[in-house]
A and B are shown apart, each in its own frame.
Chain A
Amino acid sequence: MNIGQFIMMRHELLLTAVALIILIAEIFTADNSKKKLIPFSIGLFALVTILGFLPVQEGTLFGGSYQGSHLAALMKNVLNIGVLIIFLQAEGWLRRDENADRISEYFLLTISTLIGMNFMISAGDFLIFYVGLETATIPIAALAAYDRIRSRSAEAGIKLILSSALSSGVLLFGLSLIYGAMGSIYFADVAQTVTANSMVALGFIFFVSGMGFKISLVPFHFWTADVYEGAPVNVTSYLSVISKGAASFIFAIILFTVFKTLTEMWKPVIYTLAVFTMTIGNLFALRQQNLKRFLAFSSIAQAGFILLGILGANDLGMTAIVYFVLIYVFTNLGAFGVVEAISNASGVETIKGYNGLYKTNPKLSLLMTLALFSLAGIPPVAGFFGKFFLFTSAASSGYYILVLIAVLNATISLYYYLLVVRAMFIEKSDNPVPAFKSSPYMRVALLLCVAGIFAVGFASVIFDSIREISQNFMF
C-alpha cells in the first residue's frame, strides 16, 4: 500500500485537517475577536465542500476496512452541502454574546460528527462502521446541550446520550451475534457466507433496532421529539437532516450489499417499520404546536418514505434514496432556516406565532411555503420527484399496498403542512412577528435551499448521474 492511496480518504482527511486548523486558530485568536472564527471556519468548510467534488478513485484501504467508492463520495458530498448550509444558518446564533467563547467548539463538534459519518459510509467492516457511528453520535449530544443555560437544551443532551447509549449497546450486541455466527466482521466475507439462521436473525434485528434509532424509525423514535425540541434549532436541523441522511445511506448500503442474500428475510421487517413509521409519525405531527417538534415528527414520517426505497432493493431504490436525501437536505434546511431566522429574531417557535407572517415577512413566508410544499411532495417542486422515485422503486418491486399506504400518508402530511401555510397567509394576528432582515449568511443559505429545491427537481442531469453511480455500485 503506498501513501498515494490515502488520497482515497480525501473527504475524511480534509475534514480532520479543517478540525485541527480551527482548533489551532482558536488558540491564536484573541478573546475579543473570536467572532472572526465564524467566517474563517465557514470559508474553510466551503473549500472542503468544493474539493469533495474532485474525482476520486475507487478501491479499498487497510485490508478492506475502508472502502472508497464513487457512491460513497457522492453521499459525502451531499452531506457536505447540507453541513455548509447549516453552518451558514448558524452564524446569527453563534454571534450572540453568550456563545462568544465557544464558537470553535460548535465547529469542532460538528465536523467531528461529520468525520464519523464519513468513515461510517466508507466502512468495510462492522468495527469501522461502529466506531464511525459512535463518533457521529456522541459529539451531537454535546451539541444538543450547547445552550446549557437553558434547561431544555441540557435535558435534550442528556436524553440523547442516554438513549443512544442504549441503542448503541443493542446494536453492538447485534453485531457481536453476527460475528459469532459468521466468524468475520468484514462486509465482504459476511456477504458471501451469511445464511438465515436464528442467531444471524437476532443479530440482524438488533442491528436494525440500532439503525432505527439513528434514522428515528417507529418505535425507536421516541427520543426524537424531545431532543429536537430542546436542542438549539441549528443542532435540530443537523440531527434531522445530516445525521438521518448519513444513517439512511449506510443502512441502505449494508442491507443492499452485506445482507443481500437475505433480502427475503429483511423485507418484511422493513415493510413493518415503514408502515408504522409513516403512519405514527404523521399522526403525531398532526397535533404539534411547536414548529421544531412539528418538523421532528414530519421528519420521522419522511424517514418512513426512505424505507420504501430500501424495499426497492435495486439500483433504482439506491438512486431514489440518494436523490431523496439530496432534496430533503435543501427542503428541510429551507424550512429549518426559516424557523431559525424567526427564532433568532423574535423567539417565536409555535405555529400560532406564525399567524399573519406573510404581512410582515413575505419573503420568508414564501420560502417556508415552498419548503413545505416540497416536503409534502407537491409538483413541480423537487420534493415531488424525490417521493415519486421512492414510490416508483417500491412499486417496481411489487409493493402496491405499501405505496397506497404511503400515498395516504402523504395526503395526511399535506394537511398539517398546509396548517402552517394557513397560519402564515390566512390567519390574522394582533401582534405578528415583526418585520426583520436576516443576516447575509442566512440569506445565502436560504437562497441555496431555494436553488436546490428547483434545480434538483428540474435538472434531470442530477438524477441521471446519481442513477449511473448507483448502478455501478450495485453491480
Chain B
Amino acid sequence: MATATAVLQSEWTKIRTVSSTVWTLASALLVTVAMGAALSALLSSEFDNLSEAERLTFDPTLVSFSGTVLGQLAMVVFGVLVVGTEYSSGMIRTSLAAVPQRATFLFSKIAVAGVLALLVGLLTSFLSFFLGQALLGDHGTTIGAENVLRAVVGGGLYMGLIAVFSMGVTAMLRSSMLSLGILVPFFFLVSQILAAVPKAKEVARYFPDQAGSKIMQVVPGALDSEKVPYGPWGGLGIMLLWVAAALLGGYLVLRKRDA
C-alpha cells in the first residue's frame, strides 16, 4: 500500500520538475500584482472623478486586488495542468499502476498542488495589498485596519481555492483542453457578464468566483457594487462548497472510470 507520505513526496517531485508549474504560478503572481498596482495608481489619481456613491464605498483593499480577475486565470491554468497532463500524457496509467488506491493518488496530488497554490496566492495577495496601498497613498488603508487582514488572507485563500476547484473539474473532465475551454471563459467572461445582467446576477452571485471574491471586500457593497445576502465568510463558504463538489465529482469519476 503506497503510503500517503510517499505519494505526497512523489507528487511534489512531479510538480517541481515541470516548467509549467513555475510559469503558471509566476504569471498568477505577476499579473495580479501588476494589474492591482496599475488600477490602484489609476484610481488614486482619478479619485476625485469618482461618483459620490463610489467615493463613499471606496474600498482600498479591494482596489489593490483588482488584478485577481486576470491573475486567477493563471491559477486556473495551473490547476488544470497539474491534473490534466496526467491524462494527456498517459502518465495516469503509470501513476495508477503504481498507486492503485485512487483516492490516495488524487487527494495527495491535489493537496500538494493546492498547498503550493495557496502559498503563492498568499504571497500574491500580500504583495498586491502593500504595493496597492503604497500607490493609493492618501486613499489607502493599513493592514491593521478593521477586517483588512481578513481580506488579504482571504485573497490568498481565494487564489488557492480557484486552483483546487480547477483541479477537481479537470479530474471530472479528464482533459486539459476541455477543462481550460470551459473554465477560462467561465471565469473570465460568463461569470463576469452574468453578474452584471439583471435577474441573472441573482444566480451569478452564487458562482464560486463571485461568492468567493467577497472575502476580499472590506467595505460591504464596495465601489457601489451589488449587495449580496451573505457575508465575506459566507461567500467563501459558498466557494468551498463548490470546491468540495468539484473534488467529490473528480474522485467519483476517477474511481469509477477506467484509466
Is the pairing of A and B real?
no
| Residues of chain A whose beta carbon lies under 8 Å from any beta carbon of chain B | none
